[in-house]
Amino acid sequence: MSITITADQVGKKYRKEWIFRRIDLALSSGTSYTFVGPNGSGKSTLLQVLSGSLPATEGKLTYSINNTQQEEDTWFRHVSIAAPYLELIEELTLDELLIFHQTFKPFKAGLSIDLIIDRMMLQRARHKEIKYYSSGMKQRVKLGLAFFSVSPVVILDEPTSNLDRQGMNWYRDEVRQLDVDQLLLIGSNQPDEYDFCPNVIDVTQWK
């Protein structure tokens, strides 16, 4: 599957302040891109605009799959996001959350719920409500949902937030197992999160 996200003179403004302007980008599947810059530079906002979850203030975004342009308002179906600002349904147990999640975004072939829980290293907590999880456990759940779902586009914003050294090693192992035809976008200030990524883009060029 061939995926392309094209940004043509894209900008985002909050009130009177431009977060970024005049972005021209062509992002293609089969590789990964990391957006870097200091805190407050607009990395998270840019990722949300590219995902279609935030509208651009100016410019045009084009999404295509196998050279067929996709509708902007349905693009979210093709995207999985893991980010600190996204919430989980904390009243559910992990088992219940995974069962619910796969009703609208199925898991990759060969991945049963049991196997996913094993891959998340959360076997002992599977029947516990998410609200009782540590921040690191919650982050593994968010990342696991992005890693293991059928999604042509995977977006990871500050992916190792709240992870300990074991969690960091887990992240690095799993992110390298993404399918070669997926498009991976990362927002980060931590080289350990993206040192495998061939395309590193500084967002401050668009301030």
pLDDT tens digit string along 189-207? 999 999 999 999 999 999 8
Dihedral angle over CA of 99, 144, 49, 3, nearest 10: -90
- The amino acid present at 113, given as its one-letter code, is I
Across the range 12-32, mean pLDDT stands at: 95
Which pLDDT value is given to residue 142? 98
Which pLDDT value is given to residue 188? 97
How crowded is residue 197: how many other Cβ atoms within 10 Å of its Cβ? Answer: 19
Which pLDDT value is given to residue 76? 87
Distances in Å between the Cα of 79 and the Cα atoms of 6, 63, 66, 68 are: 15, 11, 16, 16
| Residue extents of the structural domains in the chain | 3-206
Residue 74: is its pLDDT beyond 90?
A: no
CA 165 to chain centre: 21
Pairing between β-strand 153-157 and β-strand 79-82 as defined by DSSP bridges: parallel
Task: Read off the pLDDT band of 25 (50, 70, 90).
Answer: very high
Q: Is 116 helix (H, G, I), strand (E, B) or coil?
A: helix
Vertex 45 angle, CA 8 and 173, to 5°: 100
Token digits of residue 121:
């290293």
CB burial of 105-141 (b: ≥16 within 10 Å; e: otherwise) equals bebeeebebeebbebbebeebbeeebeebeebbbbbb
pLDDT top residue among 171 and 16 = 171
- Give the global pTM: 0.95
Task: Read off the pLDDT band of 108 (50, 70, 90).
Answer: very high
Give CA–CA dist 118/48, Å, rounded. 30
CA 96 to chain centre: 22
Task: Read off the pLDDT band of 155 (50, 70, 90).
Answer: very high
Written out in words, the top-level CATH class of the domain with range 3-206 is: alpha beta
Judge residue 161's burial from the number of C-beta atoms within 10 Å of its C-beta, 0-12 exposed, 13-18 middle, 19 or more buried.
Answer: buried
